[in-house]
Amino acid sequence: MSSRLASISRRALSRRIPLGARSVQVAADSTKLSSEPGEPSQPFTVTLDNNTFKGYRTEAPGLEVSVTKENLMEWYKQMTLMRKMEQAAGAMYQAKLIRGFCHLAVGQEAISVGFHSAMAKDDKLITSYRCHPFAVLRGGTITGVLAELLGRQAGMSNGKGGSMHIFTPTFFGGNGIVGAQVPLGAGIAFADKYMNKDTATFALYGDGAANQGQVFEAFNMASRTIYSSLVSTHLFFLLG
């Protein structure tokens, strides 16, 4: 009886929704192998979709990317781990175990994993909201993040920082004030340059911060101090 009802429901559903009406085409579908993968550590080339990158008054990155099976598996494991962590945090928030803010990055795992994989060990990063994965990848722990959200002593900021104020030697937390991370990022980069460190600093911000006065002031200061020597520290402002 149940199988008959299931068959009837499938036929009714197919009449209401035309085949392919809800299909979604994503850029990953059109990514092509330029060379066949071999051993896990052997690099191979993939060609990304033509619409993957768009540049405004600048050259867009190339579409051919060299990766290995080991790279892809490691990134997939990291993204899955970050998703599970954020789902656990969301469940604890809904259970009212997390009493403060809880800005989750569910669905944005590829951003933090991609950044981390492209950064050197001593490179610095500062961002705004949804920073939990960055905190783990840049030297923290899942236990430290979840304990911080719960306000426990075992948290990365001893339970006093909450969802955004989590820090490591190479990660300078999220910032609740719109655009505040940009001048802070400029200061971090300037400090490294002052100490002759060959590092890069990444300051991430969104379109909501793109019209903030402090952002443009940081741009001006960076152009006069940090960018004056391209041998040492480079500062990258990244609009997401």
- pLDDT, tens only, 134-155: 999 999 999 999 999 999 999 9
Q: Which helix (H) or strand (E) holds 205?
A: strand 200-205
Between CA 183 and CA 170 the distance in angstroms is 17
- pLDDT tens across 169-228, in order? 999 999 889 999 999 999 999 899 889 898 999 999 888 888 889 989 988 888 877 654
The CA-atom distances, in angstroms, between 223 and each of 41, 47, 51, 226 are 40, 34, 31, 6
Contact (CB, 8 A) for 53 and 27: no
Between CA 148 and CA 97 the distance in angstroms is 12
Q: Residue 153 has which token pair?
A: 């002593």
- pLDDT tens across 14-39, in order? 555 555 555 666 666 678 887 788 89
Q: How confident is the model at residue 42 (pLDDT cuts 50, 70, 90)?
A: very high
Name the maximum alpha-carbon separation found in the chain: 77
Residue 237 has pLDDT above 60, yes or no: no
- pLDDT tens across 81-129, in order? 999 999 999 999 999 999 888 999 999 999 999 999 999 999 999 999 8
b/e string for 104-137 if b means 16 or more Cβ within 10 A?
A: bbeebbebbbebbeebeeebbbbbbbbbbbbbbb
208 Cβ contact partners less than 8 Å away, ≥ 6 residues apart: 178
Q: Taking residues 43-54, what's their average pLDDT?
A: 87
Helices (H), 33-180: 69-94, 109-118, 132-137, 142-149
Of the two residues 53 and 142, the one the predictor is more confident about is: 142
Q: What is the DSSP letter of 107?
A: T
- pLDDT value, residue 28: 64
Q: What is the pTM of this model?
A: 0.80
Q: Taking residues 55-67, what's their average pLDDT?
A: 86
